[in-house]
A = this chain, B = another copy of it.
Amino acid sequence: MLRHIARRLGSLHGQIQFSNGLKGVSPNQLLSKETHRHLQSSLETISPISMMSLWPFSSQPRDFSQPNSSWSPEMRKVYDHYIALCDTDSENGEKQRGPWRKLPSYNRSIKYATAGIHLSKLIQAKARLFTRNVKEQGATFEYVVFVNKEEKRCVCVFQAGHLLEGAPGHVHGGAIATIIDTVTGSLAGFLSGPIMTANLNIDYRSPMPLGSVVLIHSALDRIERKKTYITCKVTSTDESKLYTEATALFVSIGVGHLFGSRN
């Protein structure tokens, strides 16, 4: 979808087509008053396709949710487990269906978009997604989100780096809230299109040591008009230990603000 929006920015004609259900949005619908903190979550749900020439940045965006040398064997093992359950291209070129799909994860959102209205160009140029703002691999958030469309749920594998400290040796409650917001928002965006977080309610059950690899399980509770309710729990990779439980509420929004609309 980042590429669809890139296409829109490159040429303000035609319709945007969101692969997550929002199809054929009219220009009027695009120009809503609302802003949207979680748009990039839903933006992340689109797999790379064509239109790269209209990508507004100087180079192809990097998917940061790929294995790297900072990943522990435990992180890699869970990743490999879910990757094996994703869609694959077989040798004869046919697509084989799998129940899971890996979402890509970039380190920034769209340049000169909402930001153009009220932010300096310096801030816009330097802005980076909070969860991907440290270059050192393994230092902060290493994570991959897999979504299961049929079951309306997703699983995130998360390895917590040494720069996420709260109390000595343990992950900061805010870092846990951040990954929960990110993962539940990705699922809500995947299911409901552009959304923003309205509520997070987080119960911290057990402290999480730095360096832990955990699973963040998110599932759709219900959708009521513009409201999407998601449940979430954070467990050890064998699911024997519960670290955190949460509920999240997201509200559907328009996307006009991205294009500079104040109307």
Chain B CB within 8 A of A38 CB: yes
Would A198 and B203 count as touching, CB distance under 8 A? Answer: yes
Say whether chain A's binding surface is mostly helix, strand, loop, or mixed: mixed
Chain B CB within 8 A of A169 CB: yes
Chain B CB within 8 A of A81 CB: no
Chain B CB within 8 A of A172 CB: yes
Would B210 and A204 count as touching, CB distance under 8 A? Answer: no
Contact of A130 among B119, B165, B202 (CB under 8 A): B165
Chain B residues contacting A185 (CB-CB under 8 Å) are 173
Would A127 and B163 count as touching, CB distance under 8 A? Answer: yes
Interface-lining segment among A61-69, A95-103, A110-118, A143-151? A110-118
- Are A109 and B181 CB-contacts (below 8 A) given A173-B197, A174-B130, A198-B204? no
A40 CA to B168 CA, complexed, in Å: 8
Q: List 26 A-B contacts (CB under 8 A).
A: A35-B167, A36-B167, A37-B171, A39-B167, A40-B166, A108-B165, A109-B167, A115-B168, A115-B169, A118-B169, A124-B169, A126-B162, A127-B210, A128-B165, A129-B172, A130-B172, A131-B174, A133-B140, A172-B178, A174-B177, A174-B181, A177-B178, A178-B178, A196-B207, A198-B203, A201-B202
Chain B residues contacting A164 (CB-CB under 8 Å) are 130, 133
Q: What is the total number of residues of chain A having a CB less than 8 Å from a CB of chain B?
A: 64
A245 to chain B, nearest CB (A): 10
- Are A181 and B170 CB-contacts (below 8 A) given A165-B109, A165-B130? no
Question: Chain copies in the assembly?
Answer: 2
Chain B CB within 8 A of A200 CB: yes
Contact of A110 among B35, B130, B168, B197 (CB under 8 A): B168
Mark interface residues in A192-218 (1 if CB within 8 Å of B CB, else 0): 000011111111100101110000000
Q: Across chains A and B, which 6 residue pairs bring their CB atoms closest together, nearest first?
A: A174-B178, A115-B169, A177-B177, A130-B172, A133-B163, A114-B169
A44 to chain B, nearest CB (A): 12
Contact of A114 among B139, B167, B196, B211 (CB under 8 A): B167
A129 CA to B162 CA, complexed, in Å: 9
Would B36 and A207 count as touching, CB distance under 8 A? Answer: yes
Chain B CB within 8 A of A187 CB: no
